[in-house]
Amino acid sequence: MTVLLLVIMGMCGFVWYFSKTVTQAMEVTMETKKIAITFDDGPNPEYTEVLLEGLQERNVHATFFLLGAEIEKYPKIVQKIEAGGHLIGVHAYEHVNLSNLTDAAAMEQVDKTNEAIYQVTGKRSEYIRPPYGCWKCNLDYETKMIEVLWDVDPLDWKTDNADAVVERVVTKCQENDIILLHDAYDSSVKAALRIIDILQEQGYEFVTVDELILE
Ligand code: NI
């Protein structure tokens, strides 16, 4: 009787261990590949809302690096970006190369943009993508903002061929990459939505850049 009990207990233990191992293995293989899609230079009165609708249909959260002067012109679009659950970051106030400015002028570009974001959303952003990717090292210390660059740049602003943009991104991108696009062009918005469809099909999950950076 005791022997039988021990055998049953042993079998139960084996089944438990086996199922646990299988579950863990499945969790590893089922973990999605993360990727972030980002848009610079908005809000844009013609294309941002079209993009937002497309993102919502696909259940995707993106990251928008906005220009302060455009936020002031189109606050309602910024409200929609915020309401859509997307992450908002600072680009600059005007589209200028911050490294060509004095420290004070560059800081003003950042501060005025973050103030504009605050006026619309009630919070300031911790993230900045400076125009042309040109930052000033000493500003890093002053602003305490997190600089976000990119991994994949299809130069979408140079072409109106959406297919070419899609091709450049989907052939290059990898897990944990940050894709750079601009919601200032019809072709870029079309390309972005096609890129999302293709990459979701490949098992990618779109996240905002803070989710990639915080890992
Ligand atoms: Ni830009």
Catalytic residues: 40, 182
Strand partners, 65: 40, 89
91 C-alpha to center of ligand 1: Å? 7
Distance 134 CA to ligand 1 centre (A): 11
pLDDT at 162 over 60: yes
Asked if residue 9 is part of any domain, the answer here is no
| 149 part of a folded domain | yes
pLDDT cut 70: percent of the chain above it: 83
Q: Is the pLDDT confidence value at 93 over 90? A: yes
Please report which confidence band the pLDDT of residue 181 belongs to, taking 50, 70 and 90 as the band edges.
very high
Whether residue 25 is contained in a domain is answered as: no
The mean pLDDT of 86-90, rounded to a whole number, is: 98
In a domain, 160, yes or no: yes
Task: Calculate the average pLDDT of the chain.
Answer: 89
Q: How far is the CA of 185 from the centre of ligand 1 (A)?
A: 13
pLDDT of residue 213: 82
Beta bridge partners of residue 36, listed in sequence order: 178
**In sequence order, what DSSP letters do the residues of 69-81 get, joined into one string?**
HHHHH-HHHHHHH
- Residue 25 in 3-state DSSP? helix
Label residue 111 by pLDDT band (50, 70, 90).
very high
What is the 169 CA–ligand 1 centroid distance (Å)?
18
17 lies in some domain: no
pLDDT for the residue 143: 72
Whether residue 115 is contained in a domain is answered as yes
Gyration radius (Cα) of the chain, Å: 23
Strand partners, 64: 39, 88
SS3 state of residue 141: helix
Ligand 1 centroid to Cα of residue 122, in Å, is: 24
185 lies in which domain range? 33-213
202 lies in some domain = yes
Token pair for residue 137?
């090292």
Residue listed under structure tokens 């979701």: 200
With DSSP H G I counted as helix, E B as strand and the rest as coil, what are the percentages for the chain, rounded to 5? Answer: 55, 15, 30
From CA 131, how far away is CA 140, in angstroms rounded? 15
CATH number at residue 91: 3.20.20.370
* Ligand 1 centroid from CA 92, angstroms: 8
Examine the pLDDT at 27 and tell me if it is beyond 80.
Answer: no
Residue pair 71/120 in contact (Cβ under 8 Å)? The answer is yes
Would you state the pLDDT for residue 161?
97
Mean pLDDT across 21-50: 82
For residue 144, name the pLDDT band (cuts at 50, 70, 90): confident
**Total of domains in the chain:** 1
**What is the C-alpha separation between 211 and 215, in angstroms, rounded?**
7
In a domain, 14, yes or no: no
Q: What is the mean pLDDT of residues 89-97?
A: 97
- Global pTM value: 0.85
